[in-house]
Amino acid sequence: MKQNFELMNVKFYTNDDELGTDVVHNLTFTSPDNLLCLDFGVLILEWPAGEYKLEAVATFDEKINDGLADYEAGDYRFVYNVTVEK
């Protein structure tokens, strides 16, 4: 599984601006199924009130298998609409 991490590139955006390594942190852990997992945490403080689009894009350079399923090469996008109220 560790070799899969070398075939991935993950980027995070807010309103189409890429977030830097100062707010994006990768986390590795072993799942209860004994699979090596990679996750990401994003910490952004003091957002002004308003509407935001958050996007995570995982790019796989080639087909991978995570131990449970196959994933074709390409981009996998996850988009979240966030409303911050004060």
Q: What's the confidence (pLDDT) of residue 79?
A: 97
| pTM (predicted TM-score) | 0.80
Mean per-residue pLDDT, 37-59: 91
- Give the pLDDT of residue 21: 86
> Nearest CA to 80 among 32, 19, 21, 34?
19
User: Within 13 A of 20's CA, how many CA atoms are on the CB side?
Assistant: 1
| CA–CA separation, 23 and 71 (whole Å) | 27
14-30 pLDDT tens trace = 999 999 988 999 888 99
Q: What angle do CA 6, 70, 81 make, to 5 degrees?
A: 80
User: For position 6, what pLDDT does the model report?
Assistant: 85
Residue 68 pLDDT: 87
Question: What whole-number percentage of the chain has pLDDT above 70?
Answer: 98
